[in-house]
Amino acid sequence: MSTYLNDKVAVITGAGGTICSQVAIDLASHGVKVCLVGRTEEKLQKIAETIKAAGGTCMVYVCNVLDEAGLETMADKVYETWGACHFLINGAGGNNNKAMPSIIQFDPQELSDDKPEDLRGFYDIDMDCFEDVIKLNTMGTVLPIRVFAKRMAKDGGGSIINFASMNSYCPLTRCFAYAMSKAAVVNLTQSFAAYFAPANIRINAIAPGFIANERSKTYLGTPETGLTARGESVIAHTPTRRFGQAGDICGSVRFLLDEEASAFVTGVTIPVDGGFLTLSGI
């Protein structure tokens, strides 16, 4: 087993979320010193307790990834505490129900003065929330790269992982802002990978499939309690016939960070989706 990760330093944004909390725990178990970044200290502290209980090393830092000055302060703190940051994992992101219609395609009723109260079409969504989703998923990736790549370049290199989505390849219904922004993540991953290659900084992305979490239970259901119509459609389009677990992402993260395993890999987006992209649905 590679020992490359041991004693390296990683900053993980969105570390209080389902996927990146598990990524943080996994990396810490391989000897990585992990800085857990998010907006809710309580969530981060729970992850930190798990890491420390297993003998790992971590710190908690509450920060908004859209605050470049705050990111600069955090980067300085990491450097003062542990030295050079070797890895950046951009896990912060998300969607907002107010930016989503309740219907999957245009309905003439959405333009009617007496439309049903529960019908929310494209013209009823909150465009401020729409813009917020795009900013979070795009600029919330760009700004941490801007801050940490500068330091990595000075220190001789590093590895960055962004988080894309199944929406990056083909937009799911109702996910306009989220799909737009996650498609952008694939593009900016390629752009920055080319730009920072001379600095010995590799930049890649992971596109998770449908990963089980508390939110997914609401709109997808579970095999144990019963699937929603949308959940049944997802499983029907997934050859492995199951939802993913957060732990399914960790191996790909380790691969992309490990200079011994992936030194010639940059600018790619790896789907970790149970084969979801292989089926057209026809």
How far is the C-alpha of 158 from the C-alpha of 149, rounded, in Å? 8
Q: Rounded CA gap, 171 and 183, in Å? A: 9
| 202 assigned to some structural domain | yes
State which residues form the domain around 142.
Answer: 9-209+244-278
* CB neighbour class for 95 (10 Å; exposed up to 12, middle 13-18, buried from 19): buried
Residue type, 58: C
The answer to whether residue 73 sits within a structural domain is: yes
Catalytic residue among 4, 123, 178, 195: 178
Q: pLDDT tens across 166-184, in order? A: 999 999 999 999 999 999 9
- Mean pLDDT across the chain: 95
CATH code, domain with 36 = 3.40.50.720
Residue 233 has a pLDDT of: 86
Tell me if residue 166 falls in helix, strand or coil: helix
Nearest 5°: the CA angle 15, 20, 26 is 110
pTM: 0.95
**178 HSE (CA, 13 A, CB side):** 20
pLDDT at position 1, please? 60
How many distinct structural domains can be found in the chain? 1
Residue 282 has what pLDDT?
66
Which residues are bridge partners to 208 per DSSP?
A: 272
Among this protein's residues, is 4 annotated catalytic?
no
Quick check: 216 pLDDT over 90?
A: no
Residue 103 lies in a domain: yes
